[in-house]
Chain A
Amino acid sequence: MTTEQIIFLIVAGATLASGLLVVTSRNLIHAALWLVATLFGVAIVYTLLNAGFMAVVQVVVYIGAIAILFIFAVMLTRKDMRDSGAQLNSNWWAGALMAVLTFGGLFAMLRTWGGMSKTAAEIPAGFDQIAELGAQLTSPEAYVLPFEVASVLLLAAMVGAVYLAFNKK
């Protein structure tokens, strides 16, 4: 096993464990903080894939903005931070069944897939990932339309949120 694989296994385990704690925590802020840990684990996985830009973006957007948004939302909606209701409803067995089936299906599919044992490819020296990304985002032959559409999507999110908050008032 290489060092990278050992790091990956540790990080993946910690990420999954914190993911589990997100859904089992009774305290909503704790759940949000465990979510931060999960997202940070994902960022580390990105660095293992030599995708440094994605890792930083993961931290900036998910921890810097979305986690903060969640915590604000929790403080906004719940006066009592502790959830005292039942954690499972009567359909828990159907959910469990679906989860097991999905996991089984994915496991069966990926068992025969060769990409599992691969490690991240080395990036050739002098290759600037971010500049290449920039070129692809602005090139008319590549992703310029999705680039602009992303802006429209963000606009829709902003207008929607403002509209909802305005109506509540």
Chain B
Amino acid sequence: MNEWLYVLLFMVVGAIIPIGAIAAGFIFGPKKPNPVKRETYECGIEPVGEAWVQFKAQYYIFALVFLVFDVEAVFLFPWAVKLGALGIYAVVEGIIFVSILVVGLIYAWRKGMLEWV
């Protein structure tokens, strides 16, 4: 049997438990909605303007830098697993691999892109 079926099982059970808990709250809790109660709470006073505000470019840069390092890590994990059996040359390859990306990180930093302006 494929071991991932067990993971699927964990996913199903992991969804059933919170759904069950929320359903219990739905069954036992009172249901008396009124227009004032259904208003957005926000910070306690009446909301002003649209909730879906525009965000700044910084978030996008962080997500992109993260994406780059994420992909890098994905390449490095098989390298790390096999490292014990490989010689020093594999380590050097890894160092080159990471150094190339650190150049990018330094560039982003020098351009002030990693600061929260």
Centre residue among B52, B56, B61, B75 by max chain A CB count within 10 A: B75
State whether the Cβ of A147 lies closer than 8 Å to any Cβ in chain B: yes
What residues of B have a CB within 8 angstroms of the CB of A50 in the complex? 2
State whether the Cβ of A12 lies closer than 8 Å to any Cβ in chain B: no
State whether the Cβ of A21 lies closer than 8 Å to any Cβ in chain B: no
* A-B pair number, CB within 8 angstroms: 147
- Encoded as 1 (CB less than 8 Å from any A CB) or 0, chain B from 50 to 84 comes to 10101111011101111110111011011111110
Inter-subunit contact B61/A161 (CB<8 Å): yes
From DSSP, what is the main secondary structure of chain B's interface residues?
helix
CB distance from B96 to the nearest CB of A (A): 6
From DSSP, what is the main secondary structure of chain A's interface residues?
helix
For chain B, the count of residues having a C-beta within 8 Å of the partner chain is: 50
Q: How many A residues are at the interface, by size bracket?
A: 35 or more
Question: Once bound together, how far apart are the Cα atoms of A79 and B56, in whole Å?
Answer: 12
State whether the Cβ of B85 lies closer than 8 Å to any Cβ in chain A: yes
Inter-subunit contact B75/A137 (CB<8 Å): yes
The residue on A at minimum CB distance from B64 is A161
Inter-subunit contact A131/B2 (CB<8 Å): no
State whether the Cβ of B108 lies closer than 8 Å to any Cβ in chain A: yes
